[in-house]
Amino acid sequence: MKRTRVKICGFTSAEQATFAAHAGTDAIGLVFYAASPRHVSITAAQEIVAALPAFTSVVALFVDATEEYIRHVIQHVPIDLLQFHGDEPAESCRLYAKPYIKAIRMRTDTDIKALSTEYHDAAGLLLDAYHAGAKGGTGEQFDWDLIPKHCALPIILAGGLGPHNARDAIEHINPYALDVS
């Protein structure tokens, strides 16, 4: 079995992020979505990134952001990977010459194979619970049986993960990574 990586999203201070990185977190997620309680300013993001130890990836999360705003963040914060957590089409995700993850809010009729074709150049598909009033971070788990056994892209599993079910997620899905907030 391969090693499952861990991304923790929603850091708002350098102290939190460096603690997680030193504890073994592979990637730190910074939320650039004003409606989120874990939203981070560019200044705070710069401080967080500057404090991180080497080999810790930095992921910038956006939800239906403008191209101008995304470019502004990329220009001012050293970002390794972009995460699009809204309704962004594949063409929009490809504009930035950076690797990206596309978040998919899972419904019973979600076609992961079709999405892996549409977002064929993504670094992975992040699968999260669908909630009508939220774009993610709800703490709700979706039905993992909706995930196909074989997917052309790495699967990053999100939604309601914690100490109570992380092991089951790894054993049942064998995802590339777990994403927790």
Active site residues: 9, 128
Identity of the residue numbered 105: R
Q: DSSP H helical segments within 27-149, as ranges?
A: 42-51, 67-76, 90-93, 112-118
Identity of the residue numbered 71: R
CB 158 within 8 A of CB 126: yes
Of 85, 32, 33, the residue nearest 58 (C-alpha): 32
CB 69 within 8 A of CB 28: no
CB 165 within 8 A of CB 139: no
CB 62 within 8 A of CB 93: no
Cα-Cα-Cα-Cα dihedral of 84, 136, 163, 6, to 10°?
A: 10
In this structure, the number of other CB atoms found within 10 A of the CB of residue 138 comes to 17
